[in-house]
């Protein structure tokens, strides 16, 4: 593979880099004042890793001076590249794009707001070397506001841990390290980036949680608040469904159907009893009609939601469709850009061969 811009202090990752290479994925959105300090912190860590490395910064449609400052950064260090979105798609889409464009054997994800500490990366890589597939951070001494960030996060983590039966203290920490094969199996959309450890564990990955440092935000404002709580709850329902019933939906819907059938039979028995012993008109019993209507409405709503999730997954995996669009990639030549992961390319090729119309064209 042809080497990109030379750099005496580092080795650039190509698609054929030997085992041990590291990719850092950093989503950013309107973080203009954090770009240069982030660059300095990351470069100091990269210089001491003693292994091939790169940094993939995903600009999630920033509207301030984030992109111009990123251009200056990648002009001085060939280990940095930028994936620019056409518009703001959200943190999960940015994370998915970063995972797909990264070339390393180990991928580290972190926020670009300087609250995660890059000095924790070597410790997390050491855990990967011990044999773990995924290492996720725990901001034990979290430097955020108590009412709007820490308390809601504490409650959410306890609920998610209980529902998914996955022991974790801090599911919202973006600082994670994972093996390449784990990243290749992830399909992130909605607010799924926070459930990466759970999804990886579901796939059989060996996970460990480690304490990491956390700093108060110095520049800019947070882009995420209590408004995303509803989306997280809905994604939690989806994850719970995937963990327990994704391969056998009838275990869920069959139980619901049997439960509704039992409730319906009990209601009918009650109506008959009321008719026999109280001479109450069966056809005019409003409680029976109202209960049946609400039961059917809730069942339909849940079914449509879960079927919609399954349809979304099929849509984004078929023919390599992605939940984001990239305007340009800065800092790489076209021959080094993995537009989609190899697994998606293989699926696309097999679909193309199986379609006689595509072969004819």
Q: pLDDT (tens digit, 9 = 90+) per residue, 66-122?
A: 999 999 988 999 899 999 999 998 888 999 999 999 999 999 999 988 888 999 999
Q: 102 with 131, same domain? A: yes
Residues 129 and 92 in one domain: yes
Structural domain range at position 67: 22-244+322-338
In a shared domain, residues 196 and 286:
no
In a domain, 361, yes or no: no
Q: Supply 44's token pair.
A: 């100091």
pLDDT at res. 285: 74
Any domain includes 171: yes
Phi and psi at residue 329, to the nearest 5°? -120, 125
In terms of domains, do 217 and 266 share one?
Answer: no
Indicate if 54 and 96 belong to the same structural domain: yes
**Is position 16 within any domain?**
no
Check pLDDT > 80 for residue 197.
yes
Whether 5 is in a domain gets the answer no
| 109 and 212 both lie in a single domain | yes
Is 171 in the same domain as 210? yes
The pLDDT score that the predictor gives to residue 346 is 52
Q: Is residue 127 part of a domain?
A: yes
Q: Are residues 274 and 224 in the same domain?
A: no
Number of domains in the chain: 2
8 occurs within a structural domain: no
pLDDT in tens, 317-331: 665 556 677 777 887
Predicted TM-score (pTM) of the model is: 0.70
């Amino acid at each position: 593979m042809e080497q990109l811009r030379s750099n005496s202090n580092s080795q650039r990752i190509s698609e054929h880099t030997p085992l041990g290479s590291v990719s850092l994925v950093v989503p950013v959105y309107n973080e203009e004042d954090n770009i240069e300090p982030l660059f300095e912190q990351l470069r100091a860590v990269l210089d001491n890793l003693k292994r091939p490395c790169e940094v993939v910064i995903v600009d999630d449609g920033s509207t301030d001076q984030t992109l111009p400052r990123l251009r200056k950064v990648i002009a001085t260090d060939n280990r940095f590249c930028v994936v620019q979105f056409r518009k703001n798609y959200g943190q999960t889409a940015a994370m998915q794009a970063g995972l797909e464009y990264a070339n390393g054997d180990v991928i580290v994800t972190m926020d670009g707001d300087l609250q995660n500490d890059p000095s924790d990366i070597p410790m997390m890589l050491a855990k990967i070397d011990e044999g773990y597939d995924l290492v996720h951070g725990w901001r034990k001494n979290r430097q955020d506001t108590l009412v709007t960030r820490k308390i809601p996060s504490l409650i959410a983590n306890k609920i998610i841990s209980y529902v998914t039966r996955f022991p974790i203290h801090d599911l919202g920490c973006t600082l994670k390290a994972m093996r390449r094969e784990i990243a290749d199996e992830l399909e992130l959309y909605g607010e799924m980036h926070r459930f990466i450890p759970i999804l990886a564990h579901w796939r059989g990955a060996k996970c460990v949680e480690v304490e990491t440092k956390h700093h108060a935000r110095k520049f800019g404002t947070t882009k995420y608040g209590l408004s995303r709580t509803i989306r997280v709850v809905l994604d939690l329902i989806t994850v719970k469904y995937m963990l327990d019933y994704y391969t056998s939906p009838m275990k869920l819907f069959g139980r619901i159907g049997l439960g509704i059938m039992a409730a319906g039979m009990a209601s009918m028995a009650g109506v008959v009893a009321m008719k026999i012993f109280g001479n109450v008109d069966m056809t005019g019993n409003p409680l029976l009609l109202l209960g049946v209507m609400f039961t059917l409405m809730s069942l339909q709503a849940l079914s449509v939601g879960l079927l919609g999730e399954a349809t979304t997954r099929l849509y984004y995996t078929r023919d390599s469709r992605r939940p984001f669009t990239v305007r340009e990639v800065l800092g790489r030549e076209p021959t080094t850009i993995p537009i989609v992961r190899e697994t998606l390319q293989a699926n696309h090729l097999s679909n193309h061969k199986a379609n006689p119309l595509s072969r004819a064209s």
